[in-house]
Amino acid sequence: MSGDSETNPSDVPHLPTMIPLGDAFAPKVLADMHDVGVSPAVLSDLALKAAYTVPQFTTEWAARRLCLPLALVSELLEQQRADHLLEVIGTSGPFGYRYAILARGRERAGRLLEVSGYVGPAPVSLESYTAMIEWQVARAPAVGPRHVADALADLVLPEESRLRAGLAISSGRSLFLHGPPGNGKTSLGRALHNALQAHLWIPHCIGIESTIIRIFDAQVHHAVDVSPDQSRAIDQRWVRVRRPLIVAGGELTLESFDLAYSPSLRYYEAPLHVKANGGTFLIDDFGRQRIEPHLLLNRWIIPMEHQFDYLTLHTGQKIQVPFLLSLIIATNLDPADVTDAAFLRRMGYRLRLGPPSPERYTEIFRRHAGRLGAEVPPGLLDRLLALYHRDRRELRSCEPRDLIDRVRDICRYRELPLQLNEETLELAWTGYFGENPTPASELPGLP
C-alpha cells in the first residue's frame, strides 16, 4: 500500500497499529495482551495444544509456533506452569525456559483438541481482519492506463476492449466476459489482475471465540519476503502476500462459497471468495458448473450489491465478512442463457471478445513465433488464412499459438530446430483440425 504520515487513524476501529515498512505499512508487533484482540483464554488454549504435540519445547519455539512476541508467550506459559499444566525442565537462553506438558495439561489439551484441532499461528479477530482489508483496499494505489497497458502487453486486443477492461479493474467493479471459445477471455482475466498494485497483509487465521477460520492458504497466496530486521517489528500473525488471483471453473458448487468445516481437523477453511479478498476472483467457464447458473447468480446478488457476505458456522451462527475483490466472470455461452437482467445490472462492465480480425490474427501469430525465436516466411500467413477460408473456419485467437506449438512438436520429433514453412504448418493444421477435403496445394490463387 502507498505510504503517508498516518500510521493508525483513530476513526478506524479495530485496525491494528500500522508502522512504516519502506514505502508501505505493516501491522506493528503486539506490545501487550490487550492488543491481541482475541481472548487470552483462546491463546492459552492454543499454546497448550501446541505443547501437547511435542515431548518438550522452549519458549522461543512456542513463540514461533504461535507467531506471538516472546514476552506474551512467556506470560502465557508462566500462567500454565502456575496452573500445573506445564513444568519447567531447564533454561533456554537468557529469556526463556524449556517446558514439558504435565498429565493434567495433557488431559486438558486432549479435551481442547476434541473441540478444535487447530494448532498454529494465533488468530486475529474478525473485526480486525475486516478493518484491515477495508483499510488496505481503500488505500490501494490507483490503477491507471500505464498499469493496464503493462498488464495486457502480451495480448493483442482491440483498443475498445483494452479500455473497457481497464475501466473495470481500475474502478474495482466486476467484469462480465463473454464470446465464443478460444478468443482470450481467460487470458484477459488472468492478465488484467497484474494491473493491481502493491501487496496485501492477511492473517493466518481469524478467531471467533474458540472457532478458527483459516485464511492464509499457501496454494493460492504467494507470500512476500520481509527482511529479518523488519520482521522483528511486525505482528507475525499477519502475512504479506501478493494480491491474490483465484481462478475457479466447472468444479464450483454452492458449497464452494460456504465455510468448509473439517470434522477431522475441527476447524474451518475460508471459501475461495474470502481468500480472494483484496485481489481478483475469476470464475471461468460460467454456466458449465454442476448446478444451475441462476443458483450461482442468486448467491452473488447480496455480495455484489453491498460488498459483504454472510457465512454460517456449523452451530448456526452467521458472521459477516468483507467482499472486496475484483470479480471477473467469463463464459462461452450466450449471456441470455446463463444470466438475467438483475444480475447483469449489478455487473460493472460487460465485454464481448469475438473472433480476431485477419490483422489481429496475423499479429498474434507473429508475436508467438517471435517469442519462440522462429521466423515467419513471406506469404506463409496468407496461405494460412486461405486455409481458414477454404474450410469456412472462424478465426480464433488461441489458434496461432496452438498451430505453432504443433509445428514445434513436429520439429522436435524430427530432431530439427523450429521451422515454420508450408509443409510443417499443413501437418500441424491436419493434426489440429483433422483431415482436409482439399489439399492446400490445390487451393486457388495460392503461389
How much is the average pLDDT of 389-413? 96
pLDDT for the residue numbered 441: 53
User: Does 39-115 match 124-352 in CATH topology?
Assistant: no
The predicted-structure confidence for 245-259, as pLDDT tens digits, reads as follows 999 988 888 888 999
How much is the average pLDDT of 433-442? 63
| Cα angle 213-231-271, degrees, rounded to a multiple of 5 | 20
pLDDT for the residue numbered 438: 54
CB 106 within 8 A of CB 52: yes
Q: What is the pTM of this model?
A: 0.89
How much is the average pLDDT of 309-330? 94
Domain locations in the chain as residue ranges? 39-115, 124-352, 358-442
pLDDT for the residue numbered 277: 97
- DSSP-assigned letter for residue 265: T
CB 48 within 8 A of CB 112: yes
The predicted-structure confidence for 129-142, as pLDDT tens digits, reads as follows 999 999 999 999 99
| Cα angle 235-276-312, degrees, rounded to a multiple of 5 | 90
How much is the average pLDDT of 272-295? 90
Q: How far is CA 248 from CA 288, 289, 376, in A?
A: 11, 10, 37
pLDDT for the residue numbered 126: 97
| Cα angle 213-216-221, degrees, rounded to a multiple of 5 | 150
Distance CA 415, CA 360 (A): 32
pLDDT for the residue numbered 446: 42
Label residue 437 by pLDDT band (50, 70, 90).
Answer: low
Mean pLDDT of the chain: 91
Percent of the chain with pLDDT over 90: 78
Q: Three-state DSSP class for 387? A: helix
Label residue 55 by pLDDT band (50, 70, 90).
Answer: very high
The predicted-structure confidence for 161-188, as pLDDT tens digits, reads as follows 999 999 999 999 999 999 999 999 999 9
Distance CA 376, CA 383 (A): 12
**Given a cut of 50, is residue 403 above it in pLDDT?**
yes
pLDDT for the residue numbered 424: 96
Label residue 6 by pLDDT band (50, 70, 90).
Answer: very low
Label residue 5 by pLDDT band (50, 70, 90).
Answer: very low
How much is the average pLDDT of 386-415? 96
pLDDT for the residue numbered 447: 40
Label residue 327 by pLDDT band (50, 70, 90).
Answer: very high
For residue 27, what is its C-alpha cell?
Answer: 501491522
**Given a cut of 90, is residue 387 above it in pLDDT?**
yes
Percent of the chain with pLDDT over 70: 95
pLDDT for the residue numbered 8: 55
Q: 124-352: which CATH architecture?
A: 3-Layer(aba) Sandwich (3.40)
The predicted-structure confidence for 229-238, as pLDDT tens digits, reads as follows 899 999 999 9
Classify 39-115 by CATH class: mainly alpha
Q: Which backbone phi and psi does 281 adopt, to 5 degrees?
A: -120, 110
- DSSP-assigned letter for residue 45: H
pLDDT for the residue numbered 297: 81
